[in-house]
Chains A and B, each alone.
Chain A
Amino acid sequence: MSDAAPLLEVNDVSLVFGGVRALTDINFSVERGELFSIIGPNGAGKTSMLNCVSGRYSPNQGRILFQGRDVTRLRPNQRCQLGIGRTFQNLALFNHMTVLDNIMVGRHHLMRNNFFTGSLYWLTGAQREELDHRRAVEDIIDFLEISHIRKAVAGTLSYGLRKRVELARAVALKPDLILLDEPMAGMNLEEKEDMARYVIDLNEEWGMTVIMIEHDMGVVMDISHRVMVLDFGKKIADGLPEEVMRNEHVRTAYLGEEAASDADRNERVA
């Protein structure tokens, strides 16, 4: 539990679905304060890796340590209490709730009122607690610039806004480690720039350690401190963005076509 211990340590994790080896012997660690990206082609196992960290899947082998503590067998809600929050690749909002209530759900584990004290609202301090957390939620709403939709029903919003609300909900958990699964997928350039700025702010100003899966290489190379590359469930590289880009395996496996066509173009120009 010393300061030197990484915030997250993944040791020899393997995950199998029937015949599919989604993850094979994955090892990596993330330091407190890092902005760590996971990249790789479709089906490489990126989401599966996050699911193992957040508790959605249970690895068949290996251990996951968070703040020095073995969390491999904990339920997702227990991991949330320890400080792991996340967003989903395919939206997973509470579609019939308002944006505000969606984000308030994120405060669940930080609140103490329950069915009894909640029912007696005015007499038990539940009202005060609700208002305190409402204030914290409004700060998040301001930060992510979604105040105009706070009363809207989540299911009625555009894709880009829903992604933003989902981020707000994860931020409301006040996690030490936030896992973002393709936060910029399906967004236009402007929305992507906004999202990249939010991620950087979360990391630098809100002090959250970030693990992000993202396909947009421009963004990944720009904002990540460190990058890990998965391919067919195996880790093929891990290091500074520039290093990873130079790595031969990565160029053939992941950037294959793109790198090849880049090279092509360069040749033609030359």
Chain B
Amino acid sequence: MAGHATMRCGEFRTSYRADTTIFPTPMSRNFALGGVVVLLLAPLVLNAYYLNLLIQIGYYGIAALGLNILVGFTGQISLGHAAFFGFGAFASAWINNSFGIPVILSIPLAGLLTTAVGMIVGVPAGRIKGLYLAIATLASQFILEDFFARAEWFTGGSSGSLANSISLFGYQMGTDQRYFYVVLFFVVVMFLFGANLLRTRDGRAFVAVRDHYLSAEIMGINLTKYRILSFGISSFYAGIGGALYGHYLGFVSAEGFTILLSIQFLGMVIIGGLGSVMGALLGTTFMVLLPEVMTSLVGTVGDLLPGLSQGVAYIKQMAIGLAIILFLIFEPDGLAHRWKMIKAYWKLYPFSY
């Protein structure tokens, strides 16, 4: 009897472990591992243009995951994500330039500094919701932009600041081919962290706060703490993404971190799928590739309609806006959801009814 009970217990244990893996099926895990392996080979085969796009997807994707933790998982709103992204970029350059701390360390330190700023901005979130919170975060966007312009010691003011390229063990990682691996490393680590966070205690607390905050509080969750914490974690991701961006471009200036980029981050999260870790990456990929596709489309059609090629900048912007609106209307659950449906379809194929 007792023996039977222990055996049952042991059996359960292994099955719970299998039940709590990051990836729902071995197949999806192999798929992700395969994806990383393919990406490891990417710099050997891809030209600079495509590598550049992948690197962009990497650092924007990390920031987008942060925003998804805040918006998709905790159900808050932020119109100031670009400012945190920018803060991370400036902070890492500043830490490296002023204290001589190597870039590989200044990037996570910049993440921590951005976390602190994000928590301060998040303090009102402990008290206000919805539209009011949107306005408060909008205000923080402008306050930080103003700070970037004024704090010359930190940002270099209107002339911007130089961000050294990264070197590892005396090995320069400045070229696209090498920097790609740095970004890939951070993407894998940050997405693993994110996936782990969201399947453990605090991640569940975020979703509980989003789904029903009154009953979350009855379940022992401190609402103020988790609302502010969500801002902190989201800013950490933004800071890391921004720092990677800065050291990639080699130069950081405030123009890049406007409300427009904040909206684009929201677009990535909405298009990818609110409340989905992989969705953040899918949405970012979509947002980074969309303007490129538009440009090449205009390039091909442009010969026929000469006026079109002058308007390419507008067309890109409109395409982004249009994509967000279309997704909100037709695919509110985002690409991640669509991907799930496709997977389910193939699993059952050919019995797809």
Q: Do A and B come from one complex?
A: yes
Residues of chain A lying within 8 A (CB to CB) of residue B17: 127, 131
Chain B residue contacts of A192, Cβ below 8 A = none
Chain B residues touching A, majority SS? helix
Interface residues of B in 196-237 (CB under 8 A from A): 196-197, 199-205, 207-208, 210-212, 214-223, 229, 233
Q: Is the CB of B221 within 8 A of A113?
A: no
Residues of chain A contacted by B215 (CB below 8 angstroms): 88, 92-94
A114 touches B202 (CB 8 A): yes
Answer yes or no: A95 CB below 8 A from chain B CBs. yes
Q: Which of B200, B214, B217 has the most CB of A within 10 A?
A: B200
Question: Contact mask A126-168 → B, CB, 8 Å, 1/0?
Answer: 1100110011001000000000000000000000000000000
In contact, B16 and A131 (Cβ under 8 angstroms)? yes
Q: B218 contacts A111, CB within 8 Å? A: no
B201 touches A120 (CB 8 A): no
Report yes or no: B220 in contact with A108, Cβ–Cβ below 8 A.
Answer: yes
- B201 touching A108 by the CB < 8 A rule? yes
Given known pairs A75-B217, A77-B220, A106-B219, the reply for A94 and B201 (CB within 8 Å) is: no
The verdict on A135 contacting B217 (CB below 8 Å), with A94-B208, A95-B211, A96-B275 known, is: no
**Does residue A173 face the partner (Cβ distance < 8 Å to B)?**
yes
Among A64-72, A97-105, A197-205, A208-216, the one that faces the other chain is: A97-105
The interface bits of chain A over 47-90 (1 if a CB of B lies within 8 angstroms of the residue's CB, else 0) are 00000001110000000000000000001110011000110100
B150 within 8 A of A: no
In the bound complex, residues from chain B placing their C-beta under 8 Å from that of A101 are 204, 207
In the complex the two chains form, is B20's CB within 8 Å of A104's CB? no
Apart from A77-B219, A131-B16, 12 more pairs, CB < 8 Å: A55-B218, A77-B222, A86-B218, A95-B211, A96-B210, A105-B216, A109-B220, A111-B201, A113-B201, A114-B202, A115-B197, A138-B12
Q: 27 A–B contact pairs at CB < 8 A?
A: A55-B217, A55-B218, A76-B217, A77-B217, A80-B220, A81-B220, A92-B218, A96-B211, A101-B207, A105-B204, A105-B216, A108-B219, A109-B220, A111-B201, A113-B200, A113-B202, A114-B201, A114-B202, A118-B202, A120-B193, A121-B200, A126-B200, A126-B201, A130-B201, A138-B12, A138-B16, A169-B219
